[in-house]
Structure 1
């Protein structure tokens, strides 16, 4: 397990290479299931069981492990407070971000931004040139974050998000970002 120390103003945080099966990740993933259920549970196709299947069953956990994927946690005082991962996307030079999550009581501290940047760095080191991700139409905070971090919407931003339901984004990274700038 690789540990990369980072420091915030008030806390000592560690970015830890991990796995979705790491017991430290479980509270974050369970909270993510709760959030999905709260935001989308009224939709017939997305209740509590669908949220659990999305987080734990849709993708094998080994897809988030090097050399093709990665899963990172920000750990503070022994507790995972944010995390996320990536796995290979359909295009060979593209990683797909998944499960970006911050503990609800610690939001608005830049943790999601830090985990996304750490995932981008890991993807670059693993040879990826592009990041793809999707977020749901009832997650405006996530959409705003990705736009602030330089992700390009792959949908018509003028369209009603509720009609689109899934909002895809992409970003060139590494040397590819410099070429496209």
Structure 2
């Protein structure tokens, strides 16, 4: 009999919460390996307050047995747009669809807060992220045929249906 991991629990936490530290540490380490420079400063480029409800943002984690396995955040970009940041899956838990779940949870939260569009950027050395966003219905705002290294950051956006449109689409 195979034991499956329990369904992850979604929690909203401040950036300062101790469970966020492993997320940011591993993410910074991975960015540093991929891009060849210390990326930890980039991880903390935005003030923690930008990821709080009071400022139009959120940071959420997926927890299994109380430990973070994935997470991500958004911040207010403008009055109708949320910007996804720091989508992450712990290296021991990849290839389980957790990042897609994080993106979906963030989209739902953004929609509930009145945002109608989501934008994000990812780096040229993150093909997994590029694939995730394309599979999740994000429109690339760059030439997908170009060498990503020549483009720098890869921007994406997605329009969110209004809550009433989403309910109609979900009906059989």
TM-score of the aligned structures, taking structure 2 as reference length:
0.90
Q: Does 1:78 align with 2:66?
A: yes
Q: Whole-Å Cα distance in 1 between the matches of residues 74 and 103 of structure 2?
A: 10
- Name the counterpart of 1:33: 28
Match of 1:66 among 53, 67, 81: 53
**Distance in 1 of aligned mates of 2:103 and 2:162:** 18
5+ residue gaps, structure 2, are 167-172
The answer to whether the Cα contact below 8 Å between 2:5 and 2:64 also exists between their aligned partners in 1 is no
Q: What's the secondary structure of 2:53's corresponding residue?
A: coil
Alignment: residue pair count:
163
Q: Secondary structure at the match of 2:8?
A: strand
**Deviation by residue 1:88-143 (Cα, 9 ceiling, x = unmatched):** 11x32000000000000100001000000000000011110000000000000000
Report the secondary structure of 2:114's partner residue.
coil
| Two-structure CA RMSD over aligned residues (Å) | 1.8
Task: Identify the residue that residue 119 of structure 2 maps to in structure 1.
Answer: 132
Report the 3-state secondary structure (helix = DSSP H, G, I; strand = E; otherwise coil) of the residue aligned with 1:73: strand
Give me the whole-angstrom Cα distance separating, in 1, the residues matched to 2:14 and 2:160.
23
Detail structure 1 runs of 4+ shifted over 4 Å in the superposition.
Answer: none
In the TM superposition, 1:146-161 aligns within 5 A as: 146-161=133-148
CA distance in 1: counterparts of 2:97 and 2:133, whole angstroms: 13
1:118 corresponds, among 105, 108, 120, to 105
Structure 1 unaligned residues grouped into runs of 5+: 1-8, 42-46
SS in structure 1 of the partner of residue 16 of structure 2: coil
State whether residues 23 and 70 of structure 2, in contact with CA within 8 Å, keep that contact through their aligned partners in structure 1: yes
